[in-house]
Amino acid sequence: MNYCTQCGAKVVLRIPEGDSHPRHVCPQCGEIHYLNPKLVIGCIAEWEDRILLCRRAIEPGYGLWTLPAGFMENGESTAQAAMRETGEEACARVAIEQLFALVSIPHINQVHLFYRARLLNADFGAGEESLETMLFDEHQIPWDKVAFRSSIFCLEAYFMDRRSGAFGFHESTLPPP
Ligand SMILES: [Zn+2]
């Protein structure tokens, strides 16, 4: 960040009084600009034991497969974000079942949340940000063509739980690659 979004003055990086982290502080209007992690929220959407994946039409990960997910918007709940993203990327309607995985990714300042969800019908397709969407059995998952480590973590945990007969909650922190 270079300029204050309140008054346009050039910001400086310093630790405000009583704080512990360096912040972008505006020397003109005094505004302290806090930067915090972003939430990325998505679904493991099931239909008859198969999982919905989207092949990305945008970077990062163009051409690779991923769980439908995206940045949470202001004014929505986490479950609403998961349903909205699944609608936007896979034109699919889902019922949320259970919060399934939380993945912290400190080096890119993101937290990824995934819900287990059920497709309401088999009516889905590629949204604006997808090249194609498809249902996969476990043995069909293109593991070497999955875009994000959080998706891989989530899918592995999902299939592990499914084999064990009970779904739990899974948490992980991803180190830098
Ligand atoms: Zn300012």
CATH code (residue 70): 3.90.79.10
pLDDT of 171: 98
Distance 177 CA to ligand 1 centre (A): 36
- Shared domain check, 76 and 9: no
Could you give the number of structural domains in the chain?
A: 2
Assess whether 19 and 93 both reside in one domain. Answer: no
- For the stretch 117-151, pLDDT in tens is 999 999 999 999 999 999 999 999 999 999 999 99
Domain housing 28? 1-35
Per-residue model confidence as pLDDT tens digits over 14-64: 999 999 999 999 999 999 999 999 999 999 999 999 999 999 999 999 999
169 DSSP 8-state letter = -
Q: Are residues 64 and 100 in the same domain?
A: yes
- In the structure, ligand 1 is a single-atom ion and the residues with CB under 5 Å from it are 4, 6-7, 9, 26, 28-29, 31
From CA 124, how far away is CA 104, in angstroms rounded? 29
How far is Cα of residue 167 from the mean position of the Cα atoms in its chain? 20
73, 100: one domain? yes
68, 138: one domain: yes
Question: What is the CA(36)–ligand 1 centre distance, in A?
Answer: 19
Please give the mean pLDDT across all residues of the chain.
97
pLDDT score recorded for residue 170: 98
- In this prediction, residue 50 carries a pLDDT of 97
| Ligand 1 centroid to residue 1 C-alpha, Å | 12
Q: State whether 43 and 107 are in the same domain.
A: yes
Residue 1 pLDDT level (bands cut at 50, 70, 90): confident
| Apex 152 CA angle, 150 and 155, nearest 5 | 110
Question: Any idea what the CATH number is for the domain that residue 30 is in?
Answer: 2.20.70.10
What are the Cα distances from residue 63, in Å, to 59, 93, 156, 159? 9, 23, 21, 24
Rounded-to-integer distance, Cα 95 and Cα 2, Å? 43
Same domain, 42 and 4: no
Same-domain check for residues 25 and 46: no
**Separation of CA 85 from chain center:** 9
What the block records as the tokens of 145 is 């063509």
pTM (2 d.p.): 0.92
Confidence band, pLDDT 50/70/90 cuts, at residue 83? very high
Are 114 and 43 in a shared domain?
Answer: yes
